[in-house]
Amino acid sequence: MQRPDTHSKIIGYLLWIFGFLGAHRFYYGKPVTGTIWFFTLGLLFIGWIIDLFLIPAMDREADLRFTSGRIDYNVAWILLTFLGIFGAHRMYQGKWITGILYLLTGGLFLVGVLYDLWTLNNQVSIENARIG
């Protein structure tokens, strides 16, 4: 049985454009290396270039690791990437109280947005498993 496609290679490659800041690694559920890429500019761009070829494997791993369901990872990540400080990704997940809190505080003064970069995949996976 084939697992549902939870993450998109197209979005992975679009985020790879900014991958020297770790965006694609956060998206595929690799927050530690995403943080390393952020602080080292993708290991001085060398790791960033290598990742161009690793994205298909990261995509397959994410599809196996995270639970598909009603909440779409791609939508959640696009909302976090472009509207994270406004809490749009949290409201999309049905987390209205923290979404409004993010809206009023700039993503809890960006600390909440950083937390969500590290945990968004797990948040969505848990919620998808809960609502089945």
pLDDT digit string (tens) for 37-71? Answer: 999 999 999 999 999 999 999 999 999 999 999 99
Share of the chain above pLDDT 90, in %: 92
Q: Is the model's pLDDT at 29 over the cut of 80? A: yes
At residue 132, the pLDDT reads 75
d(CA 34, CA 12): 13
Q: Is the model's pLDDT at 1 over the cut of 70? A: no
In sign, the C-alpha dihedral spanning 73, 130, 84, 18 is negative
Q: Per-domain residue ranges for the chain?
A: 9-65, 73-131
